[in-house]
Structures are given as C-alpha cells and as structure tokens.
C-alpha cells in the first residue's frame, strides 16, 4: 500500500468507508470499517501512519493502520456518544468528545479503557485539539453553539 502521506485520506460519513485518493493517478481506494454504517467522521493521522476517526453512528472510536490496512474499533462506554473527531496525544491516548452526551472521552488503546469527563454545560463540539507541551497533555475544543472554549486538564 502506498504511504498515506503522499495521498489524500477521507472518511465516508454517508456509509462506512475510509478512502484514499492518489492525486497523480486519480485512483480511489475504499476500505470498509468493520461496523456497517458506522459513519466515520473527520480523521487525523498519528506519527505511526494510523488514521484515527470518530464512528459517529456506531458509537465508536476507529483507527485504520495504513501500513497493514487493518482496522481497530473501540465501543464508547456511554450510549449515543457520537464520536466526531479523534486526536492522539504524546502518551498514545486517543481523545474525542460526544456531541450528544456532553462528555470528553479519553481512550487507552493498549487496554481499551475509557476515561469520561463530564463537561459543566451543554456543548456542540466539532474539532478537538491536544496540547502536548503540557504534562499531562491538555485537551482543548470549542463549543460550537456555546460561544466558548473548553479546556480540560486531566489530574493524572
């Protein structure tokens, strides 16, 4: 498989695919997620050429290893979490937020354990960011409908 750094990666929200487009050839490859109709959203690459993404309709965090073409999925602990964007911090934890439950989720991919952080008020979060210059990393996002910025500093 061609390295994803030289092509464009995409998530297919209408169905359940991760895709790549080779700009030189125009070739499109689609890779179906293990969960049918998962509705993958957004997507960010980590330093190991893995694409992390929210599976909005499947209540999961997904990861596609572009080197092995293998998927992994983790079911969020709260129903209707609707993961939207996922980012991985310097310690390997994957962070996302729930658009419907007003929670931030941190996943330890090694153990499959989630830590949930309940936010103080209703949010409508789209993009997420982790500041890796702090110890431990700090989670940042904007409240799309709340005209506010959310900063989460984990205690551990």
CATH code: domain of residue 100: 2.130.10.10
Q: The domain containing residue 99 runs over which residues?
A: 38-152
Cis status, amide bond into 136, omega within 30 of 0: yes
| Residues 138 and 128: beta-carbon distance below 8 Å | no
For residue 53, which of 7, 95, 91, 114 has the smallest C-alpha distance? 95
Long-range contact set of residues 94-98: C-beta below 8 Å, sequence gap at least 24: 94/52, 94/61, 94/63, 95/128, 95/130, 95/139, 96/54, 96/61, 96/128, 97/123, 97/125, 97/128, 97/141, 98/125
Residue 12 lies in a domain: no
Residue 17 lies in a domain: no
Q: What is the pTM of this model?
A: 0.89
Residue 77 lies in a domain: yes
Residue 11 lies in a domain: no
Residue 26 lies in a domain: no
Report the domain count for the chain: 1
For residue 85, which of 31, 123, 32 has the smallest C-alpha distance? 123
Residue 63 lies in a domain: yes
Q: Within 13 A of 118's CA, how many CA atoms are on the CB side?
A: 2
pLDDT in tens, 27-80: 999 999 999 999 999 889 998 989 999 999 999 999 999 889 999 999 999 888
pLDDT at 7 over 50: yes
Residue 6 lies in a domain: no
pLDDT bracket for residue 2 (50, 70, 90): very low
Residue 27 lies in a domain: no
Contacts of 7 (CB under 8 A, 6+ apart): 20, 21, 22, 23
**Span 67-95, average pLDDT:** 93
The rounded percent of the chain whose pLDDT value lies above 70 is 96
């Amino acid at each position: 498989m061609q390295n994803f750094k030289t092509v464009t990666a995409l998530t297919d929200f209408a169905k359940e695919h991760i895709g790549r487009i080779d700009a030189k050839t125009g070739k499109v490859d689609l890779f179906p997620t293990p969960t049918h109709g998962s509705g993958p959203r957004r997507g960010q690459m980590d330093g190991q050429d893995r694409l992390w993404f929210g599976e909005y309709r499947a209540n999961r965090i997904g990861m596609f290893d572009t080197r092995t073409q293998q998927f992994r999925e983790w079911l969020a602990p709260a129903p209707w979490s609707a993961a939207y964007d996922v980012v991985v911090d310097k310690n390997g934890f994957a962070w996302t937020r729930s658009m419907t439950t007003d929670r931030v989720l941190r996943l330890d991919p090694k153990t499959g354990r989630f830590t949930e952080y309940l936010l103080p008020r209703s949010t409508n979060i789209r993009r997420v960011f982790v500041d890796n210059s702090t110890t431990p990393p700090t989670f940042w996002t904007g409240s799309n409908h709340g005209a506010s910025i959310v900063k989460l500093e984990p205690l551990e």
